[in-house]
Amino acid sequence: MSEQDERHPDDVQQHLREVQELLARHKVVEDLVHRQDMPRHELVENLVHKQHVAELQAKLDSLHPADIAYILEALPLEDRLFVWDLVKAERDGDILLEVSDAVRESLIETMDPHELKAAAETLDADELADLAPDLPPEVMLDVFQSLDSEEREQLRAAMSFPEESVGALMDFDMVTVREDVTLEVVLRYLRRFDELPDHTDKLFVIDREDHLKGILTLESLLINDPEMVVGEVMHKENVISFEPEDEADDAAQAFERYDLVSAPVIDAEKRVIGRLTVADVVDYIREESEHEILSHAGLREEEDIFASVWDSVKNRWAWLAINLVTAFIASRVIGAFEGSIEKLVALAALMPIVAGIGGNSGNQTVTMIVRAIAMGQVEQTAMQRLMRKEMGVAVVNGLVWGGLLGLLAWFLYGSASLGAVMTAAMTLNLLLAACAGVLIPMVRLRFGADPAMGGSVLITALTDSGGFFIFLGLATLFLL
Amino acid sequence: MSEQDERHPDDVQQHLREVQELLARHKVVEDLVHRQDMPRHELVENLVHKQHVAELQAKLDSLHPADIAYILEALPLEDRLFVWDLVKAERDGDILLEVSDAVRESLIETMDPHELKAAAETLDADELADLAPDLPPEVMLDVFQSLDSEEREQLRAAMSFPEESVGALMDFDMVTVREDVTLEVVLRYLRRFDELPDHTDKLFVIDREDHLKGILTLESLLINDPEMVVGEVMHKENVISFEPEDEADDAAQAFERYDLVSAPVIDAEKRVIGRLTVADVVDYIREESEHEILSHAGLREEEDIFASVWDSVKNRWAWLAINLVTAFIASRVIGAFEGSIEKLVALAALMPIVAGIGGNSGNQTVTMIVRAIAMGQVEQTAMQRLMRKEMGVAVVNGLVWGGLLGLLAWFLYGSASLGAVMTAAMTLNLLLAACAGVLIPMVRLRFGADPAMGGSVLITALTDSGGFFIFLGLATLFLL
């Protein structure tokens, strides 16, 4: 990190610390001024203060937009807005694209329509489409009017595709060539560019009507004799292309499977309309996995860690409400057996074990099935086989762990029949968990819903209420 | 998909279905033969059978190794091994690299040392290092001896780095050039290659001692005048490079942040020793997020969906055992209050609600904190601020949801004081959950442990036992 001319993965944290230090020094001056009751405008005039701000600004100017985004996310709201004000206006657009949704909202709130329009105008059509949902409609309208007709068309196209589709991820930057020219001509053509679009690892070979004829990788362009013709060296077979309606998930898997850097997006007539790059795919994969992890814990979206208590409550309340309902139902199941518990209070102490282990085991099953479905490796026909296996696992676990707990219950409460009820209830609840764990995602899949959604909530609700019911029911039948 | 010359993201599922169909047809013949008690060798001679096998083999030969891996993962063990036998031996290595760990084990088990050695010898040093842990030691020794000294050195280097480091992800394929030659010379040099390493978007500019002097992107090579000298057009500043000891996580974030396709890996003296590509990074991100999702549900590793019951039990038992212990402790907490429950049996029905909501709320907190720590955006200094916020959220949720439940309890059991105890217990347990949710990952971070590990287990254990203790304790103090 001592080398000035090199960037290192930890650098962004170093940058963050430097910015925090500059902010702290700035605050010391401000505090001093405040305590001496110096009027605000004198503070602004203050030389030391000016120097700190200039230093901070210089630091920010030297940073990559993604690094500034990272720093903004890591700063409390007040510092964040102070830094945001110091960022050069022409970089606003790029940075807004990089920050998380929650932080983006906090930044956009402080910008006036004029600033927002200026920021939006620095962006490409596909980037604009990403930002559009967060911009006030009047700003979007203004921006739209300032675009030329080709960009308008692109923006309209990019915004017309659902969020999880290839169309929403694609960009419109690409280099196309004809198949009847020599590589020498292509090389000369490329020299007229000031820069190539990001992630250009291949040129798209098209005919007069934009139909995709093949791809010319930069590799083939570089290793082949310049006298050769594009049509001779281009790849015609096994060209991986996407349609804008394809699911982003499938495209991400294809990028991963075939190690792609970029790929053409074509319409139904095989006309090239855009391009998908690995950068978009990586962002998508990261967002998806984050979304999955967050929704596992019942968080609606990534939280700005410096969000207000109120914003956090809003982000989390839905899950807690659902949980309250399921917990309440489970509680009523217990309520129905209050008579039994009164007679044998040991039941109250043992029942949460049956419910808890069932929930955990069910979650293991559902996680595994959902992953297999997501990979497209489970067909409805495999259901019977999976069900048999999961039942087998449930019986083994039920007998082993349930048996162990039965022995413990016997030892603690001196009742062999209580132990037997415990073992039976555990086994039955694990079987219930296994069935539900296979059936819930499979049924959701058959009805075309996302198999992952809410599986864990449903399982836990079932195994809680079911566990209480089975255990207390068996106890009432056999022990009282 | 009607076009023969195009690959489409859904194709792999189409391939899978075709292979399954061919297998099914093959089995019909086998069944027929079996029912007629035809000896096995006659089946092999059978013409129809031969034709099916040939068709299947032709299909497999046409597929990308990653697609074959996908198909192998989706087939039950028996079919999987049948298909595996039909795959050309020289592709075995590539396919073994692509399949999941569990499936790889199942394939390697059936191969003899000779086949394994042949498969391993088709791989590069960095790929070999990935496969090494799964190969029998005697095979590895054989392979090692067949390598030349440079490859041995690379293999040794690749295997010496921990799994989560840049060193473990890097490869050794790269093109290097000197800074004092013209672009024309570089272009001529590249034409001598039969192919460039995958993901070559930049050449590394080095001096005689392999020190990194800069990078020459293919873009600058292509858009600049061939008469220019490499030193003039190469990037010297803001070159992003990694060291093999760097954490893979940081490297992945840098690839994502700066949209990299490849980057040099250098040693402490700035000598180029390898290269990191986006393909390795994408695989790493995918594996990490999968690992996170699986370990959330307490699965040790990705499960082969056609694994035996016994393998599945082994994959899942550790989590269930831990859960059993925590559930048992919670059960003993309840046991300590059996006298109170005997007197007021409503407590038994209400207590799981207090524990459950606490656990869910704590998991929300811990998920958020772990994510923020993983991004490097939370320093120890931010702990106080986060703690205050989480406490605030807990108090709001406790009063709102706890209050609602208190009213329900009052209504159900006709006791206002029971309702008040319910509300108080909910609020206290949510506060406990918030503290633990912030402290557990923070403390793990301070002691250098992975902040994510087991946070959810600990939280649930605490809020279960704590919730029962707080609720039953308050009830014993104020209601009895």
pLDDT tens digits for B207-254?
999 999 999 999 999 999 999 999 999 999 888 999 999 999 889 989
Confidence of residue A5 (pLDDT cuts 50, 70, 90): very low
Tell me where in chain A the CATH 1.25.60.10 domain(s) lie.
11-163
pLDDT at B2 over 60: no
Q: How high is the mean pLDDT of chain A?
A: 87
**Cα B382 to Cα A238: distance, rounded to the nearest angstrom:** 52
**Cα B274 to Cα B283: distance, rounded to the nearest angstrom:** 18
Instruction: Tell me the mean pLDDT in the region A120-147.
Output: 87
**Cα A411 to Cα A413: distance, rounded to the nearest angstrom:** 6
Give the percent of chain A with pLDDT over 90: 44
Instruction: Tell me the mean pLDDT in the region A20-24.
Output: 83
Chain B residues lying within 8 Å of A316, measured CB to CB: 361, 364, 393, 397
Tell me where in chain B the CATH 3.10.580.10 domain(s) lie.
176-278
For A224-283, what is each residue's pLDDT tens digit? 999 999 999 999 988 899 999 999 988 998 998 899 999 999 999 999 999 999 999 998
Is it true that domain A11-163 has CATH number 1.25.60.10?
A: yes
CATH code for the structural domain at B309-479? 1.10.357.20
Chain A residues lying within 8 Å of B302, measured CB to CB: 371
Tell me, letter by letter, the H, E, C secondary structure of B64-99.
CHHHHHHHHHHCCHHHHHHHHHHCCHHHHHHHHHHC
Residues 6+ apart with CB under 8 A from A400: none
The answer to whether the Cβ–Cβ distance between B341 and A338 falls below 8 Å is no
Q: Which residue out of A72, A175, A258, A325 would a mutagenesis test of the B interface target, given it has the greatest number of B Cβ atoms within 10 Å? A: A258
For A351-401, what is each residue's pLDDT tens digit? 999 999 999 999 889 888 888 787 776 766 677 888 888 999 999 999 999
CB proximity B407 to A under 8 Å: no
| CB B261, CB A278: distance < 8 Å | yes
Q: What is the helix (H) or strand (E) element at residue A176, kind and residue range?
A: strand A176-177
Q: Take residue A25 and report the two structure tokens written for it.
A: 């020094």
Query: Between 3.10.580.10, 3.20.20.140, 3.90.550.10, 3.40.640.10, what CATH number should domain B176-278 receive?
Result: 3.10.580.10
Confidence of residue A197 (pLDDT cuts 50, 70, 90): very high
The answer to whether the Cβ–Cβ distance between A367 and B296 falls below 8 Å is yes
Chain B residues lying within 8 Å of A201, measured CB to CB: 199, 201, 261
The answer to whether the Cβ–Cβ distance between A323 and B70 falls below 8 Å is no
CB proximity B396 to A under 8 Å: yes
Which candidate from B223, B408, B412 shows the least CB-CB separation from A194? B223
Chain A residues lying within 8 Å of B241, measured CB to CB: 6-8
Write down the pLDDT at residue A39: 59
The listed range with the strongest mean pLDDT (A177-186, A308-317, A445-454, B154-163) is: A177-186
For A134-161, what is each residue's pLDDT tens digit? 888 888 888 888 888 888 888 888 888 8
Q: Other C-beta atoms within 10 Å of A418: how many? A: 21
Give B274: exposed, middle or buried? Use CB within 10 Å, 0-12, 13-18, 19+: buried
For B290-316, what is each residue's pLDDT tens digit? 887 787 777 777 777 777 888 888 888
Q: Take residue B231 and report the two structure tokens written for it.
A: 């030193």
CATH topology of domain B11-161: MgtE N-terminal fold (1.25.60)
pLDDT at B177 over 60: yes
Write down the pLDDT at residue B410: 94
CATH architecture group of domain A176-277: Roll (3.10)
- Going by C-alpha positions, the residue among B370, B133, B435 that lies closest to residue A297 is B370
Nearest chain B CA: its distance from A459 CA (Å): 12
Is it true that domain A309-478 has CATH number 1.10.357.20?
A: yes
Chain B residues lying within 8 Å of A347, measured CB to CB: 348
Q: Which residue out of A6, A19, A97 would a mutagenesis test of the B interface target, given it has the greatest number of B Cβ atoms within 10 Å? A: A6
Confidence of residue B4 (pLDDT cuts 50, 70, 90): very low
pLDDT at A349 over 50: yes
**Cα A109 to Cα A107: distance, rounded to the nearest angstrom:** 5
Radius of gyration, alpha carbons of chain B: 30
Q: Other C-beta atoms within 10 Å of A388: how many? A: 13
For A66-100, what is each residue's pLDDT tens digit? 899 988 988 888 889 999 989 988 889 999 998 98
The listed range with the strongest mean pLDDT (A210-219, B81-90, B146-155) is: A210-219
Give the percent of chain A with pLDDT over 70: 92
Tell me which of B182 and A296 has the higher pLDDT.
B182
For B354-384, what is each residue's pLDDT tens digit? 999 999 999 889 888 888 787 776 766 677 8
Write down the pLDDT at residue A346: 94
Nearest chain B CA: its distance from A152 CA (Å): 26
Across the A:B interface, residue pairs with CB atoms under 8 Å apart total 386
Instruction: List beta partners, residue A400.
Output: none
Measured at the CA of A78, the angle between CA A73 and CA A80, to 5 degrees, comes to 30
The lowest-confidence range among A126-130, A223-227, B256-260, B369-373 is B369-373
Instruction: Tell me the mean pLDDT in the region B168-180.
Output: 92
Which candidate from A198, A236, A353 shows the least CB-CB separation from B328? A353
Residues 6+ apart with CB under 8 A from A168: A129, A158, A161, A162, A248
| CB B238, CB A44: distance < 8 Å | no
Tell me where in chain B the CATH 1.10.357.20 domain(s) lie.
309-479
| CB A336, CB B348: distance < 8 Å | no
Instruction: Tell me the mean pLDDT in the region A339-351.
Output: 94
Q: Is B294 helix (H, G, I), strand (E, B) or coil?
A: helix
Is ipTM strictly over 0.85? no
CB proximity B200 to A under 8 Å: yes
Q: Other C-beta atoms within 10 Å of B34: how many? A: 12
Residues 6+ apart with CB under 8 A from B458: B436, B440
Q: Which residue out of A360, A399, A427 would a mutagenesis test of the B interface target, given it has the greatest number of B Cβ atoms within 10 Å? A: A360
DSSP per-residue letters across A254-311: HHHHHT-SEEEEE-TT-BEEEEEEHHHHHHHHHHHHHHHHHHHTT-SSPPPTT--HHH
Q: Which residue of B lies nearest to A390 if distances are taken between CA atoms? A: B309
pLDDT at B36 over 80: no
Q: A38: phi > 0 → left, psi -120 to 50 → alpha, else beta; which?
A: beta
Tell me which of A128 and A36 has the higher pLDDT.
A128
